[in-house]
Structure 1
Amino acid sequence: MTAHSINRIKFPTAWWALLRQLGIEPFDVLRKAQLPLSILTEPAEITTPNYFSIWQAISELLGDPATGTIKLTSTSVPAQWSPSLLAPYHARNYRDALLRMSRYKQLCSPERLHIAEEGETCTIQIGWPYFEQPAPPLLVYITMVTLLELGQQGTGYRLNARLVELTHPIPAGKVEVLKEFFGCEMKFGAPHNRLTLNSSDLDRPFRSYNAELLEILIPALEDSLDKQLHNNSITESVKWIVKKNLPAGRPDIHSIANELGMSDRTLQRRLTEEGTSFKQLLTESRREQARTFLSDPSLDIKEVAFLLGYEDQNSFYRAFRLWEGDTPSNWRSEQQMNSIIPPIN
């Protein structure tokens, strides 16, 4: 098994039907994305770059990503949804729905949802761990709108978010339609794509709760998820979760296993089968994040140490010397010089 194998998903067929309702032919999408038309006729699996190309093509055909998002999501009805979305829709309450969405979304999409509750807020951070390029804005919008729309349709209430944070700059489109939908401030150029909700909304019961249907859907979804986890590498998933949890302190294997929905022992066994360990992945994640953070001149060394989960700056210095054979300051200066002075042929 390789880390590459987990980065393959099937594009949900429901989206093709929605696009046709808006007058956009799937063939035109695939042509613009420069992908084979066989994706429509065969149960083909695509990678995250392919997935991004499809959504970028859809965005260009729709014209304005913000308005296009509202069109796509308002056109969607539960009858067209996949089982991985139907299960959250028929959950007991909004919290249960979000947790089910986070768990089963990986069956049909390469993005991952990291949910954290603290006090009066619940933050949902969205990431794509298998591709370093930014996701198309349309895809980010749709993911966030779907998360809030899930709560609104399930509870029957108009729910407002507390904050929407987006990594891309302010778009030229009609962002007002999104602000009106979310009912809150939107920040562009943020470090992460993140939706912040009111924790008080999470306990709202779903009028669409259907225990009998869940008894049918959940075993099938769990079986599919179990097969996927056993057929694919979880190394990259573990590293992505570790990186997102580093600023809160050093993550332990128990918390990571819990997010993956498995026991500590099962996670240890799976990592051993893939020739690695949790300790090794923690070190790799910290090293990779350290290089990324140090490449940002706006972050000082103390901030980098904090973002990596170190209790003090000296601990970070010692670790970085072991990784790179140099101090963080010297390494950063050398990288900056290399980016300015062209190499001599």
Structure 2
Amino acid sequence: MNLAEALTHPDTFPALAQPAFSGHQGILAAAASGLEAFIARQGGDPERVLGVCHIPPSLLNQPTQSLTLPGYCRVMEEAARQTGFDNFGLHYGLQFKPQQLGLLGYVGLCSATVGQALHNVAFAFPWHQHATLTRLVELEGCVRFDYQIRHGAIVSQRQDAELTMGMVLNLLRHALGPQWSPKEVHFEHPRPENWHEHCKYYDAPVYFDQPVNSLFIPRADLLRPMPESDPVLLMVMQDAMRRLNQSSQPLSVVEQARSAVRQHLPQGEPVLEQVAEALGMSGGSLQRRLGEASLNFSRLVEGVRQELATHYLAQRHLPISELAFLLGYSEVSAFSRAFRRWFGSSPRAWRQQCPPA
């Protein structure tokens, strides 16, 4: 079976990629399996972490119930903060067995080959976690599994990204062996202080400040069979995921636009027409929809930049010069003038006065 056959077997879904915006904003509680116990093992107080994030502990014991995606990401960041364990998401993800992911985990486990497992998980992932992009990209000698949250209200995503990539790694190691490693690993967020742990656990080069979170998998590994392949159970799991998503609520145009702006900023100044195109509409239509929410495009961009600026400044290891370019400014001086207009002080003074993340 060649690569094309491995990715387009009749038991798989008919496409490799999901739309950029799936239109929803929840996540199945299976993604938090064992979270309370893991927080406790790191010396944290699970009830306090969940309480700060307004998440009822009872929800975590119901894997097919839905948590809000902003709340879920906040729990991971809060757990890292309260435990003082900076690589919380990395370690939580690497101990996360595929079966713990519930329906999505079994979609991967029941697939025929590693290639089909990646294909099926990439397609089904937005049903498990909404407002998310997952896709497979074919490259020379390998394929790239991409993961990216596209929810405009979520700024801090590091712990979730490291958790999710660890989950995918464990699915691959289930078939390829515990010592298997990818060719490369990419993360969107800046390099953390203890980044050597990432290199150790992935046993591969790890790069930060990348456009998207990615695992690079050699093509030859895609043909390896999944140990518990079960085409009948696969169809049952896929159908169950579809049914769970029938009552989901759509993201607003403002939230979608904020997400698109956030993704565009590292490439430079956001342009109305480009953001509108990402949402499948014209520039005029987007302006009208923003106007209905008492916004215009310039104010929306500035709001996203303000939120990201304070988040990045709290990452003490990130130079202010890099921060300016992450926010789409061509010069550090332009960012400094904007920041002083927003907050009445320079970025450097603000960082000195505020506690680190």
* TM-score category of the 2 structures, normalised to the smaller one: 0.5 to 0.7
In the alignment, which residue of structure 1 is the partner of 2:126?
106
Deviation of 1:41 (Å): 7.8
Deviation of 1:102 (Å): 1.9
Letter in 1 for 2:78: A
Q: With the length of structure 1 as denominator, give the TM-score of the two structures.
A: 0.62
Q: Which residue, 178, 183, 186 being the options, matches 2:198? A: 178
**Over aligned residues, Cα RMSD in angstroms?**
4.5
Distance 2:256 2:227 in 1: 33
Determine helix, strand or coil for the equivalent of 1:177.
Answer: helix
Which deviates more, 104-113 or 20-29? 20-29
Determine helix, strand or coil for the equivalent of 1:6.
Answer: coil
Provide, for residues 120-154 of structure 1, a one-character-per-residue CA deviation record: whole Å limited to 9, x for no partner: 23223322111354334222111111112211102
Deviation of 1:82 (Å): 0.6
Specify every segment of 5 or more residues in structure 1 that has no aligned partner in the other structure, as ranges: 257-276, 300-332
Specify every segment of 5 or more residues in structure 2 that has no aligned partner in the other structure, as ranges: 1-20, 268-272, 288-296, 306-324, 344-357
Q: Which residue, 279, 282, 291 being the options, matches 1:280? A: 282
Distance 1:206 1:26 in 2: 35
8 Å Cα contact 2:176-2:221 kept in structure 1: no
Distance 2:229 2:257 in 1: 32
Which has the larger share of helix?
A: 1
Question: Relative to structure 1, is the Cα distance of residues 92 and 45 closer, same or farther in structure 2, using a 3 angstrom cutoff?
Answer: closer
2:153 equivalent to 1:151: no
Deviation of 1:68 (Å): 5.7
Deviation of 1:67 (Å): 6.3
Provide, for residues 288-340 of structure 1, a one-character-per-residue CA deviation record: whole Å limited to 9, x for no partner: 999999962449xxxxxxxxxxxxxxxxxxxxxxxxxxxxxxxxx8x997666
Q: Which residue, 26, 42, 49 being the options, matches 2:46? A: 26
Deviation of 1:20 (Å): 6.7
2:231 equivalent to 1:211: yes
Runs of 4 or more off by more than 4 Å in structure 1? 34-45, 233-245, 281-285, 287-295, 335-343
Determine helix, strand or coil for the equivalent of 1:150.
Answer: helix
Question: Relative to structure 1, is the Cα distance of residues 212 and 39 closer, same or farther in structure 2, using a 3 angstrom cutoff?
Answer: closer
The correspondence of residues 282-297 of structure 1 with structure 2, limited to 5 A, is: 296-297=328-329
Deviation of 1:241 (Å): 9.2
Provide, for residues 138-194 of structure 1, a one-character-per-residue CA deviation record: whole Å limited to 9, x for no partner: 221111111122111023363322222223222223x33321222221222333333
Q: With the length of structure 2 as denominator, give the TM-score of the two structures.
A: 0.60
Q: Which residue, 33, 36, 39 being the options, matches 1:14? A: 33
Distance 1:290 1:238 in 2: 9
The correspondence of residues 1-345 of structure 1 with structure 2, limited to 5 A, is: 6-12=24-30, 14-16=33-35, 19=38, 22=41, 26-33=46-53, 35=55, 39=59, 45-66=66-87, 69-70=90-91, 72-110=92-130, 111-131=132-152, 133-156=154-177, 158-173=179-194, 175-225=195-245, 227-228=246-247, 232=250, 278-280=280-282, 296-298=328-330
Question: Relative to structure 1, is the Cα distance of residues 4 and 25 closer, same or farther in structure 2, using a 3 angstrom cutoff?
Answer: farther
Determine helix, strand or coil for the equivalent of 2:282.
Answer: helix
8 Å Cα contact 2:73-2:154 kept in structure 1: no
Distance 1:36 1:61 in 2: 18
8 Å Cα contact 1:102-1:114 kept in structure 2: yes
Provide, for residues 217-239 of structure 1, a one-character-per-residue CA deviation record: whole Å limited to 9, x for no partner: 233233334x257x646977799
8 Å Cα contact 2:89-2:163 kept in structure 1: no
Question: Relative to structure 1, is the Cα distance of residues 199 and 18 closer, same or farther in structure 2, using a 3 angstrom cutoff?
Answer: farther
Determine helix, strand or coil for the equivalent of 1:9.
Answer: strand
CA radius of gyration, larger in: 1
Question: Relative to structure 1, is the Cα distance of residues 109 and 4 closer, same or farther in structure 2, using a 3 angstrom cutoff?
Answer: closer
8 Å Cα contact 2:39-2:83 kept in structure 1: no
Question: Relative to structure 1, is the Cα distance of residues 208 and 284 closer, same or farther in structure 2, using a 3 angstrom cutoff?
Answer: farther
8 Å Cα contact 1:56-1:138 kept in structure 2: yes
Distance 2:326 2:196 in 1: 36
Provide, for residues 90-123 of structure 1, a one-character-per-residue CA deviation record: whole Å limited to 9, x for no partner: 2111221112222222233244313211222322
In the alignment, which residue of structure 1 is the partner of 2:18?
none
8 Å Cα contact 1:11-1:109 kept in structure 2: no
Q: How many residues align?
A: 277
Letter in 1 for 2:282: Q
Letter in 2 for 1:296: G
